[in-house]
Chains A and B, each alone.
Chain A
Amino acid sequence: MRIDFHQRIFRDTWFITGIVLALLFAIAIILGPPLVPFDPWDMSFVPISQPSATHILGTNDGGQDIFSELLYAVRNTAAFGLVCGLIALLIGAIVGVTAGWMGGLVDMILMRIADILLAIPAVMILILTAALFRPSPWVLALILSGMMWPTISKAIRAQTLTMKESLHVKAAAQIGAGNWYIIRRHLMPELFPLYLIGFAAKARMAMFMEASLAFLGLFDPARKSLGMMIAYAVKYYYMDIWWNWLMPPIVCLSLLIMTVTFLAISLEKVLDPRLKEALGS
């Protein structure tokens, strides 16, 4: 794409912070579970023990290794968030571009559906579904994505409408470019910042939502989650174990959300030549 792309992006502090965090999390997620010292479901250790050489973060009230638990929880939460973000982005982008590009009746119908979804509180639906039907996390992820795409699609539709009227798109159409070419070459790159923002916002929201649902105990209790870990740890806040039991999941959740945000900001900056100039790097 751009010759100096690599040079520029590696001079960006947002990107460096983001990518370091992302790499750490990636290692934890991909390599963690197979390499964890103990089975996180194994309850055979001494409950509520302080961190030691064997149990890096000690054990919880059920006698499970906290470190192993944390690795599995990060994996679940991150996966839930990323999957939700991706699905919401996919639906939002397709709906937004279709509505904006085609206009007319299609636009009207799609946008009314989006309006309806925007009016329904996602948390309530998720809590009700989770409580009543006890579906698998993936079904919940799908439901959440299905509720989150309207804001993305609205932004993308608006930008599509602007682009459709822009002179360079008209020029390309005059030259004889087909719809697909224009969407691919003119629209998609122009929408890229919106994808990043949309994806980051939705992934963040989904991670937080997952943690919240788990905190409320609406997930299978056997499924490790940062929210669930926090919920259990909070019960023992009066004991002197908050720093090794309560803090790690909270820090991990915050860092996860920050990673996504940092990467989105830095990529947007690098991929938009004008923004890059304005931000001066």
Chain B
Amino acid sequence: MSLEIKNLSVIYRDGSHSIQALEEVSLTLAPGTCLALVGESGSGKTTFGNACMGLLPSNAEREGEIILNGNRIDHLEESDLNEIRWKRISMVFQNGAVNMNPVYRVVDQVAEPLIQRGHLNRAGAMAMSSEALEQMGVEKEYHDRYPHQLSGGQIQRVLLVMALILDPEIIILDEPTSALDALSRTVVSDVIQAARSGNKSVLLITHDLEFAMRNSDTIAMLYLGQIMEALPAIDLLARPLHPYTMALGRSYPAMDTARDLGGIKGDAFYRLVHQHGHHDEDAYLHAHIQVPQSSHKDGHAPPTGCLFQNRCTQAVERCLTERVGLEVIGDHTVRCLRHGIANLLELKDVNKKYGKTFALDPVDFTIKCGEVFSLVGETGSGKTTLAMIAAGVLKPESGKRIFDGIDMDEWMERDYRSLSRRIGVIYQNPAESVSHRFSVFDTVAEPLKIHGLTGSKSEILELVKKVLGDVHLSTDPAFLGRYPHELNMGAIQRVCVARALVLNPSILIADEPTSSLDPSVQAKVLKLLLSIQIERGLSMLFVTHDIGLARKVSDRIGVLLAGRLVEVGPANLVLSEPLHPYARLLIDSVCGKSREPVRHKTDKTGPDACSFATRCTLARELCYKKAPLLNEKAYRRVACHFPLTAG
């Protein structure tokens, strides 16, 4: 049994205004699978569920096809639809108890569809529903109660029983878990698993990412009525391809994500479609923007461009004008002009020598748009060197650096300033990274003056004040005239952050930005950095020796050992289940579980040995002979001959 939805569009009419709830959504529910429809509230999830059931209100205008087992059901009469509803497609509505009749006992309500559609007599129906309720874990004593006498969990169970009682082929669950605690959720999980193994199809509508990930096969991300990405459930957090998927993943408080909650910058558009002007020639369809600071007059945006563009971390000029269709990339389907999350900075085989010693062996990694990438490692592992190469301050011996798709070295030669404008750098020691002869104003205004972007003094002052406000510093003239020695470290570092931000960079490179601050100031500066990263949709390269800190800020982590990356991957995976023994050691030493191991003496060490071999408890013959290369493994890249096993 399958349900296929083709190009479903729904518009709610309301006087002269209308709201576009869905736009050309195509999805297929294959038998034995669960499809999760995920999105923020207002993205059209419930409308989609209701449309499948033919339950849209009368002011809804629908286009597109809904095909059940090869037969279109979208144009059926109400009486024919009634034959299909509950028997072949059933739905658990959201908000629990509101969907039940308060004056009937629950067992009567469960029996009702059996009597109406199942053509059973009353006694048989009652017996059957009683049995079904018990199977679902609602004890006998509750069967004769009224809905208000049951708990939220029990209500949800009753609703599930109601939906399942006629053994439909397609089950639509609308926010089945929103009122449930973690334990009660397992009931819903069990229902979904049972349906999947019974070769039925489940459409799970939810905003609970973790629940969707665990219980579905495919996840479709809905944003303002459009599918932004459809992807295999296991890829949701580890390998999203659309910025929206990544941002939602970061906003969700899953148990194994390390980073603090992120959120998505800005607010969604309102997709109000209406006609303007009294004359027909003025009238045009357009979408409303809810956010006050819209570039368009009166907060209107013409209906062009990507819907996510105002909140996207990688929007380019063309995103404002071009709206693209879905595109298949691997096993994902993505709607993005830039073919998924773009790489902002790619380092390919960069290396660096100081004299004759290699500070960096050929290293490559990428920083994606809108993510925080942390480099961790011992002191002397080449973290700062790598960060400065990424910032364009140091030049690598060889290798390629690509920024936003353009070769950095060529770009630097052609027009260094236009590149440096896009890279903000924060240094380790705030007191030394500002001149003690520069006042706060001079320091923050310096990039503006160097780039000569703004002419007048008042314009510069305005920009400086704005960015100082962004980093939560005072903007009054007395403060602007302060000198570094009159400020505390935290304030100086904020001034440095302001200086890095004043040119509106697309990436922040922070080299141990908090290591010279005390813990309370460190916490403040770090929170500030993260909130700025989210608000501005920046990418960030965060260099630190403190794994605890990296855990709090990173989306992805790279572990550096003696100038080589030994493990790169999503922060939660690397930190919870490191595959490289060195990463394990670093994490354990932070927890106090292990200390620096003694280097065991060996004469087996060859010139190309793994740099960790002499400290590694798992080292074998091969490790002393040949340094391992980075290999793809379990969503990350690891350079180890005998990696630890995940889990």
Contact = CB atoms under 8 A, between A and B. Distances in A.
Interface stretch (A81-89, A106-114, A174-182, A249-257): A174-182
Q: Pick from A167, A174, A177 the residue with the most CB of B within 10 Å.
A: A174
B435 A274 contact: no
Contacts of B393: 170, 173-174
Given A175-B420, A273-B483, A168 B432 contact: yes
Interface string B442-478: 0000110011000000000000000000000000000
Q: Pick from B391, B421, B429, B485 the residue with the most CB of A within 10 Å.
A: B485
Contacts of A3: 481
Nearest to A170: B393
16 contacts: A167-B429, A167-B432, A170-B393, A171-B434, A172-B450, A174-B391, A174-B425, A175-B447, A176-B416, A176-B420, A176-B421, A176-B447, A189-B437, A190-B437, A273-B436, A273-B485
A175 B446 contact: yes
A176 B451 contact: yes
Contacts of A181: 450
Contacts of A166: 432
Interface in B563-600: none
A186 interface: yes
A272 B416 CA distance: 33
Contacts of B437: 189-190, 272-273
A175 B426 CA distance: 11
Nearest to B415: A176
A168 B485 contact: no
- Top 6 nearest A-B pairs by Cβ distance? A176-B417, A167-B433, A176-B420, A167-B432, A168-B435, A175-B447
B311 to A, nearest CB: 29
A240 interface: no
B228 to A, nearest CB: 36
Given A173-B393, A174-B391, A174-B393, A186 B451 contact: no
B392 interface: yes
A109 to B, nearest CB: 24
Contacts of B270: none
Nearest to B442: A185
Interface of B: 391-393, 416-417, 420-421, 423, 425, 427, 429, 432-438, 446-447, 450-451, 481, 483, 485, 499, 503
A186 B417 CA distance: 19
B353 to A, nearest CB: 19
B354 to A, nearest CB: 14
B436 A174 contact: no
A42 interface: no
Nearest to B502: A175
A168 B450 contact: no
B446 A172 contact: yes
Contacts of B434: 168, 171
A172 B451 CA distance: 11
A176 B421 CA distance: 8
Given A3-B481, A174-B420, A277-B485, A186 B447 contact: no
Contact of A171 (B416, B427, B483): B427
Q: Pick from A170, A172, A176, A185 the residue with the most CB of B within 10 Å.
A: A176
A242 to B, nearest CB: 50
Interface string A153-175: 00000000000001110111111
Contacts of A172: 446, 450
Contacts of B429: 167
A167 B447 contact: no
A272 B483 CA distance: 11
B435 A186 contact: yes
Given A3-B481, A175-B499, A277-B485, 4 more contacts: A166-B432, A167-B427, A174-B425, A272-B437
A171 B433 contact: yes
B501 to A, nearest CB: 12
Given A3-B481, A170-B393, A274 B450 contact: no
A177 B481 CA distance: 22
A127 to B, nearest CB: 43
Nearest to B496: A171
A274 B436 contact: yes
A35 to B, nearest CB: 43
Contacts of B438: 168
A261 B421 CA distance: 45
Contacts of B436: 273-274
A162 to B, nearest CB: 11
Interface string A106-131: 00000000000000000000000000
Q: Pick from B417, B420, B423, B435 the residue with the most CB of A within 10 Å.
A: B435
Nearest to A271: B437
B34 to A, nearest CB: 51
B425 A171 contact: yes
A272 B447 CA distance: 23
Contacts of B417: 176
B131 to A, nearest CB: 73
A71 B491 CA distance: 56
Interface in A230-281: 272-274, 277
Contacts of B425: 171, 174
A174 B432 contact: no
Nearest to B433: A167
Contacts of B481: 3
Contacts of B391: 174
A274 B485 contact: yes
Contacts of B447: 175-176
A277 B483 CA distance: 11
A175 B416 CA distance: 9
Contacts of A170: 393, 427, 433
B608 to A, nearest CB: 34
A172 B444 CA distance: 11
B485 A174 contact: no
Interface in A166-214: 166-168, 170-177, 181, 185-186, 189-190
A204 B280 CA distance: 88
B342 to A, nearest CB: 24
A272 B438 CA distance: 11
Contacts of A185: 446
Contact of A174 (B392, B451, B483): B392
Nearest to B392: A174
B391 to A, nearest CB: 6
Contacts of A168: 432-435, 438
A277 B436 CA distance: 12
Contacts of B432: 166-168
Nearest to A272: B437
A20 B572 CA distance: 71
Nearest to B481: A3
A5 to B, nearest CB: 12
Contacts of A273: 436-437, 483, 485
Nearest to A166: B432
Interface string A73-97: 0000000000000000000000000
Q: Pick from B433, B437, B503 the residue with the most CB of A within 10 Å.
A: B437
A28 to B, nearest CB: 36
Nearest to B419: A176
Contacts of B416: 176
A175 B429 CA distance: 17
A243 to B, nearest CB: 48
B25 to A, nearest CB: 47
A177 B427 contact: no
Interface string A222-233: 000000000000
Contacts of B451: 175-176
Nearest to A178: B450
